[in-house]
């Protein structure tokens, strides 16, 4: 960015996890066949009225707590009026000048430094339907999404780079998932993000004119779109041009942001108080009840992991990245009695398997107690670490206990020196050149011999015993 | 006014006569077709219900409104039937569900015979702004029955039904009730669920009954009123219909006469009737007190800002995209919206949408909408002050008696002023009832209005009964 500073603010929309929609009793569920989760209310038929789903408030309250926002005892809904085929009432029920909560912040870690991003407000609203533009120019509309409860989290323009925006979004995503407030799925659109971005010369006090970037469908997309737009704005200014206020749509495939066609008429949404809903009242008792039920939040849990289990900050950060993973780790640490080793197993193997299989910790097939018994096998030196990892893979594949896999598939570690020595001799005979090299000083070949020995024994040889024998035979 | 069907009290006790009463009613409606009160007659549905209600009676079920034949304004939803709102844009639209108020009345044994004419989307005071053409005053066919609920008023006034439902946003039930010589009650805002009433001015709308007397209006109010989980603005006010109906007024009241409602602009004969009624009440032992409602003179102006603002948003859903009238020649989305709405809405509706859009626009919001909200609170404040001193307020319902068809159709301001005495109650959310109290020199009915504090619906109806008693039947 050279001589320029960027100023970025994000508006994040999160679909709330609730049984039913915001203002009717239709199920709030993703992925049903189009236009099957609808009723006269969410279709905006003549004569309908909205009725607020209290679960929506509870979810919003949790998020507001988690970011340290002030929840207002009274707020109100407003109508945001505009015409679009996926907006069946011709207005969206939202909150305008009296939002649900204001204030709060999110702490980021970017390139080793901490940064606090302030949150301006969190407000409640309903989602619109989904327009699907077809190649032939027609548009199909799915109303299942109409009336899905949303919170909009508006940040202050406190971010100064695409990396910070990415970190902020990551943190919000992590938080809403942690709280089970939103599933955070950007591809499915349950978490969406619009950005306001401007640039100004470093020496200037005054912010530049901001543009709005929309249609970013992944966290990486946000980062790339912002980088693109910052670059573009700097280019315009460098060439003596001026930035105009506009909305751009990020084209992920082409990796460019295109100006949105000018909206019908203008951006005048003619907000006014929604007369069909009464004031949103959040009593101190209710706030108290929710706050008592609040779970430990990621920063607190990270700190506790460091203190209680002696984990490094980096490890704590990874393990407390997701509530399910953190819970799994803690249960494993308790069950196995070895927190360090439990941390290694979860961080290394469990997260690797989840990633490979593209699944959530909730559907990880190996129970804490099975993984703990596997760890015990390693500790008792009945199983090598490598062998244990392969046993775990088999456990995941078959759903069987470690004992039965070890028994059936012969993973048990052998410390039988005679047997191992027989294998080692074979290895040394197979690699005469390497033996010569080793003896002439290439000591780092030692690991190679250990590896070959383990390979030949399918990981069953006790690596300690194998090393001792190698030392003896190579000297 | 003569009832063209057996009285409800008779049918209630002779449910076996219901099927033939429904046939008689259908015949009467057919004969009265030139009045243009009904826009959709639900003959088969009513026949079916009549048999159902009669059978329920045979099983010994006691239904409080058994055999009551009801007409419903065509902006109130009944599943599977027309909900035209007298608009081209919803001309062939059928509702997917039934309004809570109607469902409750039917459950209590009422039989809906048909849907009645109205000013398009309840916007008007004459029942002329309808795609079905004007409804005629039953006593003078050249005159309007008032509006917007003109069809329902005429259905009751012509004796075609026992009672009828309308909707009152700024006087749309009380004004036609006064014009046609029947009782029209606008309940306290929130007393009756609005679920299934096509919204016009959501913060003002109430479903409201027409009846030939206050006792009957009370019965309908009790059955259809009360909290509804589908309407957050409905009030949790206990409503159970006392088997002996509305009790006679037990106490002597302080009755307020608002001086601002009895000054210039009021047809002299109407002023005289109000004073006559006041005199009779005084003679009966009630105390008359002059009160002042100084902000009521701003009510029409405030009303036309707030109601149109809400309407501009409420009517946005009629865009030709999903249901209702669609301009087929449109070539793109914008044209679809513009042409469908321009072709689907009548002139008065378009005028109000434009007005409402304007007052909500950036830069004008504070000057119009916000200011109007403030004045609305002042109008309410006047009433609260007055009700600190008096129990109820007696006032004219309308500034004139029924005017001629076509007389005001090109003069919206004159038309809007028909609501000068009725809009304050809507703005304040208080209940108000218009009861017939006399006639002018042309023989046209005159109504007087009784307004009371929030949730005093029963009390104002008791006062209405008292006026009926003192006056005798008109």
Residues 221-250 of B with CB under 8 A from A: 229-233
pLDDT in tens, A43-78: 999 999 999 999 999 999 999 999 999 999 999 999
Q: Which residues of B are catalytic?
A: 73, 148, 172
Query: Which residues have CB under 8 Å from B393's CB, separation 6+?
Result: B255, B256, B257, B258, B291, B293, B383, B386, B387, B450, B451, B452
Q: Which two tokens stand for residue B172?
A: 């749309």
pLDDT in tens, B141-200: 999 999 999 999 999 999 999 999 999 999 999 999 999 999 999 999 999 999 999 999
CB-based contact A84:A113 (threshold 8 Å): no
For residue A148, the model assigns a pLDDT of 98
CB pair distance less than 8 Å for A47 and B199: yes
What does the alpha-carbon distance between residue B474 and residue B467 come to, in Å, rounded to a whole number?
A: 11
B/e letters for A180-202, b = 16+ CB within 10 Å, e = fewer, are ebbbbebeeebbbbbbbbbbbee
How close does chain B come to A271, measured CA to CA in Å?
Answer: 7
CA distance readout (Å), B241 to A394, B208, B228, B432: 72, 17, 17, 20
CB pair distance less than 8 Å for B85 and A46: yes
Task: Answer whether the bond into residue A376 is a cis peptide, omega within 30°.
Answer: no
Q: Which of A49, A89, A271 is opposite residue B317, by nearest beta carbon? A: A89
CB pair distance less than 8 Å for B195 and A45: no
CB pair distance less than 8 Å for B95 and A47: yes
Chain B contacts of A48, Cβ < 8 Å?
195
B77 inside 8 A of chain A by CB: yes
CA distance readout (Å), A301 to A108, A321, B44, B240: 16, 10, 68, 56
Chain B contacts of A91, Cβ < 8 Å?
313, 316
Dihedral sign from CA coordinates of B314, B319, B321, B323: positive
B358 inside 8 A of chain A by CB: no
More confident residue, A143 or A457: A143
CB pair distance less than 8 Å for A47 and B337: no
What does the alpha-carbon distance between residue A389 and residue A377 come to, in Å, rounded to a whole number?
A: 11
Give the residue among A179, A214, A186, A208 at the shortest CA–CA distance from A294. A179
What does the alpha-carbon distance between residue B201 and residue B148 come to, in Å, rounded to a whole number?
A: 13
For residue A412, the model assigns a pLDDT of 67
What is the band of A261 on the pLDDT scale with cuts at 50, 70, 90?
low
pLDDT in tens, A303-331: 999 999 999 989 998 999 889 999 999 99
pTM of the shown model: 0.89
Q: Which of A40, A79, A270 is opposite residue B96, by nearest beta carbon? A: A40
**Alpha-helical runs (H) found in B92-247:** 100-107, 150-157, 174-180, 214-224
How close does chain A come to B265, measured CA to CA in Å?
Answer: 33
Share of chain A above pLDDT 70, in %: 98
In A, minimum Cα distance to B314 occurs at A89
For residue A264, the model assigns a pLDDT of 41
Q: For chain B, what are the domain ranges?
A: 1-474
For residue B161, the model assigns a pLDDT of 98
- What's the whole-number mean pLDDT along residues A245-261? 90
Q: Which fold has domain B1-474?
A: Amidase signature (AS) enzymes (3.90.1300)
CB pair distance less than 8 Å for A79 and B361: no
What is the band of A266 on the pLDDT scale with cuts at 50, 70, 90?
low
What does the alpha-carbon distance between residue A228 and residue A97 come to, in Å, rounded to a whole number?
A: 33
SS3 B290: strand
pLDDT in tens, A326-376: 999 999 999 999 999 999 999 999 999 999 988 889 889 999 999 999 999
Interface probe with A: pick from B96, B98, B235, B355, most Cβ of A within 10 Å: B96
DSSP labels, B109-129: T-EEEEEE--SGGG--SSS-S
Taking one residue from A and the other from B, the number of pairs with CB-CB distance under 8 angstroms is 95
For residue A46, the model assigns a pLDDT of 98
Report angle CA A317, A319, A324 to the nearest 5 degrees. Answer: 130
pLDDT at A1 over 70: no
Q: For chain A, what are the domain ranges?
A: 4-287, 298-409, 417-474
Share of chain A above pLDDT 90, in %: 67
What are the pLDDT tens digits along chain B (474 aa)?
689 999 999 999 999 999 999 999 999 999 999 999 999 999 999 999 999 999 999 999 999 999 999 999 999 999 999 999 999 999 999 999 999 999 999 999 999 999 999 999 999 999 999 999 999 999 999 999 999 999 999 999 999 999 999 999 999 999 999 999 999 999 999 999 999 999 999 999 999 999 999 999 999 999 999 999 999 999 987 666 777 889 999 899 999 999 999 988 899 999 999 999 999 999 999 999 999 999 999 999 999 999 999 999 999 999 999 999 999 999 999 999 999 999 999 999 999 999 999 999 988 999 999 999 999 999 999 999 999 999 999 999 999 999 999 999 888 888 888 899 999 999 999 999 999 999 999 999 999 999 999 999 999 999 999 999 998 644
Q: Which two tokens stand for residue A91?
A: 């207005």
Q: What is the CATH number of domain A417-474?
A: 1.10.10.410
CB pair distance less than 8 Å for B230 and A51: yes
More confident residue, A109 or B143: B143
């Amino acid at each position: 960015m050279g001589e320029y500073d960027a100023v970025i603010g994000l508006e994040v929309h999160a679909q709330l996890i609730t049984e039913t929609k915001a203002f009717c009793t239709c199920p709030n569920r993703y992925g049903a066949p189009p236009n099957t989760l609808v009723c006269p209310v969410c279709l905006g038929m003549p004569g309908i009225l909205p009725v607020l789903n209290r679960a929506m408030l509870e979810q919003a309250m949790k998020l507001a707590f988690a970011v340290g926002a002030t929840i207002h005892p009274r707020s109100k809904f407003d109508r945001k009026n505009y015409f679009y085929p996926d907006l069946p009432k011709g207005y969206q029920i939202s909150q305008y000048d009296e939002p649900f909560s204001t204030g709060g912040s999110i702490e980021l870690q970017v390139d080793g430094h901490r940064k606090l991003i302030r949150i301006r407000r969190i407000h409640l609203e309903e989602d619109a339907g989904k327009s699907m533009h077809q190649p032939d120019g027609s548009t199909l509309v799915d109303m299942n999404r109409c009336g899905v409860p949303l919170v909009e989290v508006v940040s202050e323009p406190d971010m100064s780079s695409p990396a910070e925006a990415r970190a902020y979004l990551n943190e919000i995503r992590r938080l809403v998932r942690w709280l089970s407030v939103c599933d955070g799925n950007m591809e499915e659109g349950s978490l969406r993000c619009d950005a306001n971005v401007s640039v100004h010369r470093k020496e200037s006090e005054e912010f530049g004119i901001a543009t709005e970037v929309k249609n970013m469908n992944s966290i990486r997309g946000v980062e790339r779109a912002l980088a693109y737009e910052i670059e573009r704005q700097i280019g315009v200014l460098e060439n003596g041009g001026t930035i105009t206020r506009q909305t751009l749509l990020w084209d992920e495939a082409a990796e460019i942001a295109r100006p949105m066609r000018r909206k019908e008429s203008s951006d005048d949404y003619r907000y006014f108080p929604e007369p069909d809903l009464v004031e949103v009242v959040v009593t101190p008792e209710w706030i108290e009840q929710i706050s008592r039920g609040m779970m430990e939040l990621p920063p607190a849990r990270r700190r506790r992991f460091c203190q209680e289990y002696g984990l490094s900050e980096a490890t704590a950060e990874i393990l407390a990245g997701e509530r399910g993973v953190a819970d799994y780790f803690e249960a494993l640490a308790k069950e196995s009695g070895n927190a360090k080793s439990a941390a290694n197993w979860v961080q290394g193997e469990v997260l690797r398997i989840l990633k490979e299989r593209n699944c959530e910790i909730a559907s990880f097939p190996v129970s804490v107690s099975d993984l703990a018994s596997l760890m015990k096998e390693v500790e008792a030196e009945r199983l090598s670490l490598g062998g244990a990892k392969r046993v775990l893979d088999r456990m995941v594949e078959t759903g069987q206990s470690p004992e039965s896999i070890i028994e059936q598939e012969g993973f048990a570690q052998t410390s039988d020196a005679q047997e191992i020595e027989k294998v080692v001799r074979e290895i040394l005979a197979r690699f005469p050149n390497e033996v010569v090299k080793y003896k002439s000083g290439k000591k780092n070949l030692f690991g190679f011999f250990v590896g070959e020995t383990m390979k030949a024994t399918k990981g069953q040889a006790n690596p300690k015993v194998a090393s001792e024998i190698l030392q003896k035979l190579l000297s | 006014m003569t009832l063209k069907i057996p009285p409800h009290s008779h049918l209630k006790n002779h449910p076996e006569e219901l099927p033939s009463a429904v046939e008689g009613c259908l015949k009467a409606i057919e004969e009265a077709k030139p009045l243009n009160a009904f826009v959709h007659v639900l003959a088969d549905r009513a026949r079916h219900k009549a048999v159902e209600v009669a059978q329920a009676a045979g099983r010994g079920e006691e239904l409080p409104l058994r055999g009551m034949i009801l007409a419903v304004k065509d902006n109130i939803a009944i599943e599977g039937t027309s909900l035209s709102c007298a608009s081209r844009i919803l001309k062939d639209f059928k509702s997917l569900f039934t309004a809570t108020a109607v469902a409750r009345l039917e459950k209590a044994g009422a039989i809906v015979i048909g849907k009645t004419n109205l000013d398009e989307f309840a916007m008007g005071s004459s029942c002329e702004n309808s795609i079905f053409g004007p409804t005629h005053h039953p006593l003078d066919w050249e005159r309007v029955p008032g509006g917007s609920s003109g069809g329902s008023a005429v259905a009751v006034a012509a004796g075609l039904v026992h009672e009828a439902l309308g909707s009152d946003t700024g006087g749309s039930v009380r004004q036609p009730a006064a014009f046609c010589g029947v009782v029209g009650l606008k309940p306290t805002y929130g007393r009756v669920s609005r679920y299934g009433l096509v919204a016009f001015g959501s913060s003002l709308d109430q479903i409201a009954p027409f009846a030939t007397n206050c006792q009957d209006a009370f019965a309908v109010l009790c059955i259809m009123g009360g909290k509804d989980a589908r309407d957050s603005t409905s009030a949790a006010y206990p409503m159970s219909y006392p088997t002996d109906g509305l009790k006679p007024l037990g106490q002597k009241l302080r009755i307020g006469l608002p001086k601002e409602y009895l000054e210039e602009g009021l047809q002299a004969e109407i002023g005289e009737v109000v004073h006559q009624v006041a005199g009779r009440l005084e003679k009966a032992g009630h105390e008359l007190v002059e009160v002042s409602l100084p902000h009521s003179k701003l009510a029409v102006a405030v009303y036309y800002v707030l109601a149109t603002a809400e309407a501009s948003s409420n009517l946005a859903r009629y865009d030709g995209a999903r249901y209702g009238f669609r301009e087929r020649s449109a070539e793109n989305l914008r044209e679809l919206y513009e042409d469908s709405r321009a072709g689907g809405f009548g002139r008065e509706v378009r005028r109000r949408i434009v007005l409402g859009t304007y007052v909500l626009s950036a830069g004008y919001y504070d000057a119009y909408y916000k200011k109007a909200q403030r004045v609305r609170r002042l109008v309410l404040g006047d009433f609260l002050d007055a009700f600190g001193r008096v129990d109820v307020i007696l006032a004219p319902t309308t500034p004139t008696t029924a005017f001629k068809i076509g007389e005001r159709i090109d003069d919206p301001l004159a038309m809007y002023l028909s609501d000068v005495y009725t809009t304050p109650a809507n703005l304040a959310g208080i209940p108000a009832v218009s009861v017939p109290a006399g006639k002018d020199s042309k023989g046209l009915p005159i109504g007087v209005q009784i307004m009371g504090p929030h949730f005093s619906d029963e009390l104002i109806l008791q006062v209405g009964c008292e006026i009926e008693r003192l006056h005798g039947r008109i």
